[in-house]
Amino acid sequence: MIEPRIEIASRAGVCYGVERALDMAHEAARNAPTPVRTLGPLIHNPLVVSELSQAGVDMADAVDDIQDGTVIIRAHGVVPAVIDRARAAGINVLDATCPYVKRVHSAAQKLVREGYQLIVVGESGHPEVEGIVGHADGQAHVVSTARDLDSIDLARRVGVVVQTTQTVGTLQDIVSVLVARAEEVRVVNTICSATQERQEAARELAERADVMVVIGGKNSGNTRRLAQICKESCERTYHIEDSSELDEAWFHTSGLIGITAGASTPASHIDKTVHAIEEMLRGSDER
C-alpha cells in the first residue's frame, strides 16, 4: 500500500508585494483616518478580502464611492488619474502598489517618452495591465499571445514591457515574432522574480507528484498559471481557494501530494490546507 506524504513547493505563497500591501492595510485599520477602504480588491484572493473586511478594511469600487477616510490603492496599481482624483477630493491615500509593478510603470513611461511603440504582454482588462497602460498615457497595445500581434500595425521601433505574473515562455514567443517584423525591439523583462521562482518550483514538484493542490484565488492570474503549469506534468491537479473545497477522493492511491500556492496566498491558508489533508488521510487510515 502506498504511504501518502505531503510536500510543499520550495517557493509558494505570498510574495513581498502582497505581504507589504496586507501589512499596510492592517496598519491602516488600526491607525489611519476612518473609514478605511481598498479601491477594488487589495489582492486577487476573495478569502483574504473577506478577512480584511472583518478586520475593518472594506472595499469600494470607485473613488466616487468614497467621501472621506482612507483609500488604499491595490497591489496591482491604478492609472495615475485615480490617485490624483482621490487626493483632490481630500481623501487620505495609501499607495500599496507593488514596487515591482511600479517598475513596470516606469519602464512603460520611459519607452513611450523615447518614441517606442509600446507593447504590453499581459491579460487585457486585468487591473495591473490597465494601470500599466494608464502610465503610458494609453499609448500601448496589449497582447497575451503572439497571434494577437497579427492585428497590430507595428512601428519601426517597438518597446516591450510585461505584466509581472506572465511566463518567460509567453514573452519569448511574442518577442520572436516582433524581432522578425520590427526594425528595432527593446525588451524590458518586468516579470517578477517571485513569479518565476514559484512557477519553477511548482513545475519541479508537479513532475514528481501523484496529485497537486494549488491554493489561491480563482481570480488570480498568477495562481491560475501555477495550476496550468502543474496540470502539464500532473493530470490530477486541483485549484482551490479554501480548504473546504478539498475532496478526500483526490488523495486515494496517492503517494506524493504536492502543494503550491499563488503569490496572493498567505502562509496561514497553506497551513490550513495541509492540516485539512492530514486530517483526511488520518481518517482514511482509521477506516
Dihedral Cα 245, 246, 250, 255, nearest 10 deg? 150
Active-site residue identified among 19, 27, 114, 128: 128
Report H helices in the chain: 16-31, 46-54, 80-88, 99-113, 127-135, 168-181, 193-206, 221-233, 267-286
128 is catalytic: yes
Which distant-in-sequence residues (6+ apart) come within 8 Å of 269 by Cβ?
13, 47, 215, 242, 243, 261
Instruction: Compute, in degrees rounded to 10, the torsion defined by CA atoms 139, 145, 146, 150.
Output: -60
Query: Residue 280, Cβ neighbours under 10 Å: how many?
Result: 19
Question: What positions carry a catalytic annotation?
Answer: 128
